[in-house]
Chain A
Amino acid sequence: MTILDEREGNRETAVNPKLERRARRRDAWRGFFHAAPAYLYLTLFFTLPLIIVFVFSFASRGRTGRPLLEGWNIDSWTRLFEPLVRTIALRSFWLAVLNTALCLLVGYPFAYWIATRRKQATRNILLVAVLIPFWSNFLVRTYAWRMLLDSDGYITQFGEMTGLWGRLLFTVPAVFLGLLYGYLPFMVLPLYAAIERLDWSLVEAGRDLYASGAAAFRRITLPLSRPGIVAGSILVFIPSLGAYVTPDILGGAKTTLLGNYIVTQFGAARNWPFGSSISGAILIVMLAVTVFYFRSGGRTL
């Protein structure tokens, strides 16, 4: 540490301002040139496509569904307030909220349990056991539930036998189960990272000052693990809101979510401008959530 401090000190005092300025300018160029290829690429294949979504949402619809770059109007945006769209949007929104809440409710004690194992080796093994489903193919994991909930599968038979549930496949509960299963690992990992680096001596100090276990958790552990809670919630909420694969495989006609509805506009419904305005609306929600996150002190996801 002292070596580092001295180095910093030297830099402050013993430099020639002219040389310093020249070095800074050269560094500015080097930084720019390192970033240039990725910058150019993302401008071409991310930023411009992002802008085109908003441009096309004001275009009029051609006969094939493609946008005609004339007769600009706001019809695609006003259509967002139609009852059908509202139903689908609300269904998507509440499912995403519910899924985030349940992931948090199940994921927090789970992450806490892993992070508080005494031995580093135990924690590492449990963490790898979380990482494997996290990295496993999302489609395959959704297919697992398609198979488990099949009409002649054991889960359906058990439900019918006991009278607890009937056919789950192609219903909202099935989609919800799929979302929970799909995104739970996205919640657990940031929570684990936050809880694991927590300074436990603070909790200990609280206990020494006669805080009950529950009070210490509520006043110390929970606020300190907030960055993990927020990051995990964003990582679950945003993809749940735009879910496409899960409702497509586990849902039916009555469980259409925004994701499927958008894709339909680019396929069977042949209405690209309308698909653009729905995507645009999701993008606005997403940006709002992210800005809120960074404002509230989050730094990285």
Chain B
Amino acid sequence: MTLNQGAAARPWVDRILAINGWLVFAFLYLPILVVIVFSFSASPNVGIWGGFSLHWYDRMFGNEQLMNALRNSLWVAAWSTVISTVLGTAAALAIDRYRRWLGRGVFDAVLYLPVIIPDVTMAVMLLMWFTQVNITLGRLSIILAHIAFNISFVAIVVRARLANMDPAMEEAAADLYASRWQAFRRITLPLIMPGVLGGGLLALTLSLDDVVITSLVQGPGSATLPVYVFGLIKRSVTPEINAVSTLMLAASIFLVLASLAFQRRGERSG
């Protein structure tokens, strides 16, 4: 699709827009690039190039605490993603497919709140709740907290997908004597699958990235990778942090591209 003439700005306006555009991209990318480049520097002083070296990666993989934090991160992310994807998808179906049921309006509102609430507030309220109901702070409490914010994100992504789907498909299946379950399994689920996978990947990313909530509801030895790195940064800045950061950036970029690939496949089939 090409845009209409209305969008065409005068050449000098367009030039200013382009300059601003490339400056913003430089602003967004240069700091990240510097982090990556200096993870390969031999110098222990961050910011001064000391020749190419993989020393910091070597140290990172030998750091037992860091590896433990990575294991915690993956464990927490896996459980919270799976559970929140199932619950979030069901919630999206409930709101989009069924217009009238008891408490739908309240549920719709509550479902949005975890998305906009500041991390700090969510963190302290969960900390107080866990201590009040005697849930020991550790990997379990972190997983419970991550599910709480991820359900909403999954539901929003799946709802966007459901909104673009023609309900006539399910009705056609029902007309052809498909049971409810068959219609869901054979028609609805394949059609919303890109949304479900996209929501799941978003949940995975958010779970792997969270610092604030996790650092308040963690227990001894249950720190996730970002929380461990957060502690390192506050103590001192070393190129080892650059190496971990590079690893985390690579994971993020992989997840974005994967999610875009799912969405694109969905656009073609839907």
Contact = CB atoms under 8 A, between A and B. Distances in A.
A133 B110 CA distance: 29
Interface in A110-146: 110, 112-114, 116, 118-120, 126, 128-133, 135-141, 143-146
A82 interface: no
A7 interface: yes
Contact of B230 (A130, A184, A245, A301): A245
A283 interface: yes
B129 A45 contact: yes
A34 B104 CA distance: 11
B48 A152 contact: yes
A288 B186 CA distance: 43
Contacts of B121: 53, 242, 262, 279, 282-283, 286
Interface string A233-249: 01100110111110011
Contacts of B118: 238-239, 241-243, 259, 282, 286
Interface residues of B, number: 100
B31 A145 contact: yes
Contact of B6 (A32, A143, A202, A283): A202
Given A31-B100, A42-B151, A46-B148, A138 B116 contact: no
Interface in B88-137: 88, 90-91, 93-95, 97-104, 107, 110-121, 123-129, 131-132
A42 B110 contact: yes
Interface SS majority for chain B = helix
A283 to B, nearest CB: 6
Max count, chain B CB within 10 A of own CB: residue among A47, A129, A146: A146
B176 interface: no
Contacts of A213: 9-10, 13
B17 interface: yes
Contacts of A153: 47
Interface stretch (B54-62, B189-197, B253-261): B253-261
Contacts of A27: 98-101
Interface residues of A, number: 100
A31 B9 CA distance: 49
Contacts of B45: 152
B31 A148 contact: yes
Contacts of A119: 2
A139 B229 contact: yes
A275 interface: yes
A37 B233 CA distance: 39
A129 B249 CA distance: 14
A113 B9 CA distance: 10
A154 interface: yes
B40 interface: no
Interface in A262-301: 262-263, 266, 272, 275-276, 279, 282-283, 286, 290, 300-301
Contacts of B229: 139-140, 143
A286 B241 contact: no
A132 B252 contact: yes
B245 A137 contact: yes
A253 interface: no
B212 interface: yes
A245 B13 contact: no
12 contacts: A27-B101, A31-B104, A49-B126, A118-B3, A130-B28, A137-B252, A138-B211, A147-B47, A150-B46, A203-B4, A242-B120, A245-B212
Interface of A: 3-4, 7, 24, 27-35, 37-39, 41-42, 45-50, 52-53, 56, 66-67, 106-107, 109-110, 112-114, 116, 118-120, 126, 128-133, 135-141, 143-148, 150, 152-154, 181, 184-185, 200-204, 207, 213, 234-235, 238-239, 241-245, 248-249, 258-259, 262-263, 266, 272, 275-276, 279, 282-283, 286, 290, 300-301
Top 10 A-B pairs, shortest CB-CB distance: A242-B118, A31-B98, A203-B6, A35-B94, A200-B6, A34-B94, A144-B31, A31-B101, A204-B6, A49-B129
Interface of B: 1-10, 13, 16-18, 20-21, 24-25, 27-29, 31-32, 34-35, 38, 45-48, 86-88, 90-91, 93-95, 97-104, 107, 110-121, 123-129, 131-132, 144-145, 147-148, 151, 155-156, 168, 171, 205, 208-209, 211-212, 216, 226, 229-230, 233-234, 237, 241-242, 245, 248-249, 252-253, 255-257, 260
Given A119-B2, A213-B10, A239-B118, 12 more contacts: A4-B168, A52-B128, A53-B121, A106-B20, A109-B16, A128-B257, A144-B32, A185-B28, A244-B212, A245-B212, A259-B119, A263-B123
